[in-house]
Structure 1
């Protein structure tokens, strides 16, 4: 296997896709705006965040795999930030009434929109709901629970733990050793594994250096020659399948909840939910 980009891992069925996450965010923004209109206060929702995201969860999970792309972009995927992005701009200031309507509180010691923001105030003749309009939107989308609208903790844990465990598995350690020998035989530094190569502090520059591009291209070629991605993906998936079986009942509830939240988002947006 040269690339895992077109292959799904078993836990993916229990995690939000990019489209599903965007849909929930759009529904939340729509519900907040609708609620704020009810209170007749001036409010402009912040622009949605646009972070870099791979096309699939597995596209860069095992590092660079395309020698041609690596020779051009180095270790950072095209479109991803190579240095920390600047802090987001401060949101526009709101009137005291708008703040209470949005967050359910005017107490600086209370987290805005949280369960601790009890609401109950009156703004322009309407009673502020618990958590304000933020809390109302989260409750409407059933995203006011432990995952706060994101992925379920059990699915997140399985996804991250399988990746960590796979790196220590003898089968993966074996192909890492062959990969490392391949790299040194071509005159590159002696990295223990591909993650050490891509994480080299020397690559933390605004633009990829010639040395980074050459190293990244060699990384991808050595992966291909020794089927590193194929072995790594298979081991990663095997650990996930084992944990999915052990947590079957909890994950079945997670999958049902994902579908229910997409239905709620569709109701808010007036559209059908995307296919998983």
Structure 2
């Protein structure tokens, strides 16, 4: 297998897709705006900055795999920033009262929805909800739990854990040893695995250097020559299936919750009637 970009891992069914995450964020901002308008406050939540996104979770999970792309971009995927991403759009300036309505507290350091953001204040003749409008929106979307609307911790743990377990697995270790010998033959003998190669501090430059492009190209070619991605992906997926079986009950609830949250998001955006 040259690339895993078109392949999905077993845990993907229990993680938010980019589209689902975007829909939840759109719904959250819509609900916050509606809540603020109930208090007579014109407020539009700042649009999120759009980060670089691979075409799939697996496109760069095992590093660069396309020699031609590596020869042009080095270890940085095309479209990703080589320097620090620009800061997000600053939130609109709010009066003290509007800030309280938004967060549920007059303490700017208190997290919305936390014990310090109890709400209950009066503004515009109405009572501020717990956590303010931010807390109300999170609760309406079922995002007021530990994961705060993101991926469930159990799914995150399985996703990250299988990668590390697979990396240490003897089957993967064998092909990585061959990869390291191959890299040595290309003049890059100091790297024990692809993560060391891509994480070399020498590549922290605004643009990929000729040396970086050469190293990335060798990395991709050595992966292809020794089927590193094919073996790593297969072992990675096997570990995930084991964990999914062990956590079947909890993950069934995660999958049901993913569907429910999407329905709530659709209702907030006006596409479906609210859930009972």
TM-based fold match above 0.5: yes
Q: Does 1:128 align with 2:125?
A: no
Deviation at residue 84 of structure 1 after TM alignment? 2.4
Q: Secondary structure at the match of 2:150?
A: coil
TM-score of the two chains, using structure 2 as the length reference: 0.95
Q: Distance in 1 between matches of 2:79 and 2:195?
A: 20
Q: Distance in 2 between matches of 1:111 and 1:146?
A: 13
Q: Distance in 2 between matches of 1:113 and 1:27?
A: 18
Q: Distance in 1 between matches of 2:31 and 2:113?
A: 14
Mind listing any 5+ residue stretches in structure 1 that lack a counterpart? none
Q: Distance in 1 between matches of 2:99 and 2:45?
A: 12
Question: In the alignment, which residue of structure 2 is the partner of 1:266?
Answer: 266
Moved more, 252-261 or 46-55: 46-55
Question: In the alignment, which residue of structure 2 is the partner of 1:153?
Answer: 153
Question: In the alignment, which residue of structure 1 is the partner of 2:60?
Answer: 60
CA deviation vs aligned residue, 1:42-77 (integer Å, no higher than 9, x gap): 323112221111111001000000000000000011
Question: In the alignment, which residue of structure 2 is the partner of 1:248?
Answer: 248
Mind listing any 5+ residue stretches in structure 2 that lack a counterpart? none
TM-score of the two chains, using structure 1 as the length reference: 0.95
Q: Quick check: 2:167–2:173 contact (8 Å CA) kept in 1?
A: yes
Q: Secondary structure at the match of 2:197?
A: helix
Deviation at residue 114 of structure 1 after TM alignment? 2.9
Deviation at residue 184 of structure 1 after TM alignment? 1.1
Q: Quick check: 2:48–2:88 contact (8 Å CA) kept in 1?
A: no
| RMSD of aligned alpha carbons | 1.3
Q: Secondary structure at the match of 1:262?
A: helix
Deviation at residue 135 of structure 1 after TM alignment? 0.5
Deviation at residue 197 of structure 1 after TM alignment? 0.5
Deviation at residue 199 of structure 1 after TM alignment? 0.6
Question: Structure 1: which 4+ aligned runs deviate by more than 6 Å?
Answer: none
1:43-122 aligned at under 5 Å gives the runs: 43-122=43-122
Number of residue pairs matched by the alignment:
272
Q: Quick check: 1:41–1:97 contact (8 Å CA) kept in 2?
A: no
